Structure 1
Amino acid sequence: MSATSESVLEKPRGAVVVRPSTENDVPAMIAIYTHHITRGVGDVDIEPTQADDIKRRRKNMLRRRLPHLAAERDGVIVGYAYAVPFRKRPAYRYAVKHSIYVHPDHVSTGIGRLLLPALIEACASAGYRQMFAYVDADNVASLSLHEAHGFRRVGLLEGVGFKYGKWADSVLMQRAIGPGSTTPPVEIAYSRTT
């Protein structure tokens, strides 16, 4: 091992802090998202996301009491996660779907293992009862992460995405949060705006 690689391995890394995102985090979130949609196993979005898009989505989520979290290490955004309504109709107002994105230099370092439980807790605290994830069927790490946090596979959506010259399947995963469907919900304000 060279002296350079030894010093990199020995360099201590700061603790990761998971916190609500801010507008100042938007440029880092765009860079992370752009990496994943152009080279990652995740989304099939082909249009680049603009700062105003993320800012608008983030404000809309916060207005609806939906969490939008950032993971920060040593002043650098290393990942982010958020929840959106599962469906727009009022009957589904207690269910959310979520997304997690990790900076490519921090994949497999535990960032997802910190973001996912924080997101689950924030959604449960806001009164949501069910959480869903659409995970690319080839993304073994994400499937394992979700299963480790109580998600179960409830469906396979075959050939729903086309990226990198081939069709992609998505696994639909679900878990109850808070008391789930065991008790009646506390009313959550419903807004038709997205």
Structure 2
Amino acid sequence: MPVPADIRPADVGDAAAVADVYRPWVTGSVASFETVPPDADEMARRMTAQPRLPWFVACRDGAVVGYAYGGQHRTRAAYRWSVDCSVYLAAGERGAGTGRALYERLLPELRDLGHVTAFAGIALPNPASVGLHTALGFTPVGVYRAAGFKAGRWHDVGWWQLPLREPPAEPAEPAAWSPGAPARPPEGLR
């Protein structure tokens, strides 16, 4: 069993390494529906986009070997308690428990910021990603058929969801995230 990777909050200084981890997922797979790999500047922009949500990196021997992040689920105001989450790993990290370790750091952080539900969209078929999300308690909620065209064919996207906490009758605004600062639950969750 490999030694677990170190998990820490990511910041813009990690943007180039995060872009390097992500590039093969864009250029050599259909797991990402992007067709042009984002560069470090674009990754830094995504990491600091408002509302600011958590990004974590997994490091081994000082090198970034994976990352996970929360993203805005939809832009309309009523969706602000829901988040999308994703995890991407370098090839050598797959099956080593690094994806699970990243999510085990990310998901409680999202909950503590006041988010209620996490969603994950998975281009199908992807048994490794489905297995990871299912093992962490995500349940399937539906499939968008022929949602994206990449690599010469149409691909379905399955959606999974994970309740992060009970939906409050009157939710407080989700708190902003800051790398390195402990999450502070919004008023009404303390």
**Does the TM-score normalized on the shorter chain lie above 0.5?**
yes
Change (3 A) 1:24 1:65: closer
Question: Could you tell me how far 1:180 is from its partner in structure 2?
Answer: 3.0
SS at match of 1:55: helix
Aligned amino acid, residue 25 of structure 1: D
Change (3 A) 1:180 1:65: farther
Question: Could you tell me how far 1:157 is from its partner in structure 2?
Answer: 0.7
Question: Could you tell me how far 1:165 is from its partner in structure 2?
Answer: 1.4
- Matches of 1:153 and 1:120 in 2, distance apart? 17
What's the CA shift string for 1:13-44, capped at 9, x where partnerless? 54311111122322211111110111134112
Does structure 1 residue 20 correspond to structure 2 residue 9? yes
Runs (4 or more) in structure 1 with deviation over 6 Å come to none
- Matches of 1:185 and 1:26 in 2, distance apart? 33
Identify the match of residue 152 of structure 2 among 165, 170, 173.
165
Does structure 1 residue 140 correspond to structure 2 residue 124? no
Identify the match of residue 109 of structure 1 among 96, 100, 103.
96
- Matches of 1:188 and 1:182 in 2, distance apart? 12
- Give ranges in structure 1 of 5+ residues lacking alignment: 1-11
Contact 1:65 1:126 in 2 (8 A): no
Partner of 1:79 in structure 2? 66
Q: Number of paired residues? A: 176
What's the CA shift string for 1:110-147, capped at 9, x where partnerless? 11111112111110011000000001121101001101
TM-score by length of 1: 0.84
- Give ranges in structure 2 of 5+ residues lacking alignment: 177-190
SS at match of 1:26: helix
- Matches of 2:157 and 2:150 in 1, distance apart? 12
Contact 1:68 1:83 in 2 (8 A): yes
Contact 1:15 1:74 in 2 (8 A): no
Task: Select the structure with the greater relative contact order (CA < 8 A; seq sep ≥ 6).
Answer: 2
Identity %: 34
SS at match of 2:66: strand
